[in-house]
Homo-oligomer: A and B are copies of this chain.
Amino acid sequence: MSLTRIHNLSISLDGFATGEPQSLEAPFGHAGQRLHEWMFATRFWDAGGTAGVDDAFAVRHEDGIGAEIMGAHKFGPPGWQDDPGWTGWWGPNPPFHTPTFVLTHHPRPSLEMEGGTTFHFLAASPAAALQEARAAAGGQDVRIGGGPSVVRDFVAAGLVDHMHLVQVPIVLGRGVRVWDGLEGLEDDYAVEAVSSPSGVTHLTFTRTGPGRGDPS
């Protein structure tokens, strides 16, 4: 069975997965890199990093993933749709290595990068995008790569089987909140929390019943 999964989505104590405003210089706005320092310190990111609980969670980002879906805000700064030369933040060899579907109201031709990543651009509902990604995933799982509003849309549509959030002990005050519209989420998921010596808390949500929106 091919699952739909979310990994390593870092949020502040007040639930923001990105600060504001987003720009070319500041992809996470005033949050800077503060939401992701826990990950930079792991072996997943850096061979000399830690191999504890943070790393154990971080590495699952890759495991068994055959495609990713991301939102337009993850692919580029405001206005990238008007720049035909924009190929994402990640240089010639992006860290996805699978078909990667970018949700945008302004689709463009697919873009084949080095290392196995091909960007496809879709104007589609969450369910329709998932169907395309699933077909491209070769029987493996589909990752919803964020940002927070895309995560919210897929979770609210009942399409997500497993979600891993990482709560970082900072209060951002503003940005894009992951929780909005998800009242009662715990009814459909087994929730676990485990705090790490690094200061972050890993939250996992594992779906306990059939999906609300996935016809498969």
Whether A194 touches B195, Cβ cut-off 8 Å, given contacts A169-B186, A169-B203, A172-B183, is yes
Of the candidates B183, B192, B193, which one forms a contact with A171 in the assembled complex, judged by CB atoms under 8 Å apart? Answer: B183
Q: Is A99 an interface residue (CB 8 A)?
A: no
Of the candidates B167, B186, B199, which one forms a contact with A170 in the assembled complex, judged by CB atoms under 8 Å apart? Answer: B186
Interface residues on chain A, size class: 20 to 34
Is A13 touching B179 in the complex (CB atoms < 8 A)?
yes
Q: Is A174 an interface residue (CB 8 A)?
A: yes
Report Cα–Cα, A93/B130, bound state, in Å.
Answer: 58
- Chain A, 167-210, contact with B by CB distance < 8 Å: what is the 0/1 string? 10111111001011111111000011111000111010000000
Of the candidates B15, B171, B193, which one forms a contact with A185 in the assembled complex, judged by CB atoms under 8 Å apart? Answer: B171
CB distance from A174 to the nearest CB of B (A): 7
Using Cβ atoms and an 8 Å threshold, which residues of chain B touch A180?
14
Report Cα–Cα, A183/B13, bound state, in Å.
Answer: 10
Is A173 touching B182 in the complex (CB atoms < 8 A)?
yes
Is B199 touching A191 in the complex (CB atoms < 8 A)?
yes
Sorted from nearest, which 8 A-B pairs have the closest CB atoms?
A: A173-B183, A14-B179, A169-B191, A193-B195, A171-B185, A195-B195, A193-B201, A170-B186
Interface residues of A (CB under 8 A from B): 13-15, 167, 169-174, 177, 179-186, 191-195, 199-201, 203
A-B contact pairs, 16 of them (CB 8 A): A14-B177, A14-B182, A15-B179, A167-B201, A169-B192, A169-B193, A170-B184, A170-B186, A171-B184, A172-B183, A173-B179, A173-B181, A173-B182, A173-B184, A191-B199, A195-B195
- Given contacts A173-B182, A173-B183, could you give 19 more A-B pairs where the C-beta distance is less than 8 Å? A13-B203, A14-B15, A14-B180, A14-B182, A167-B193, A169-B191, A169-B192, A169-B203, A170-B184, A170-B185, A171-B179, A171-B182, A171-B185, A172-B183, A173-B179, A173-B181, A191-B199, A194-B195, A195-B201
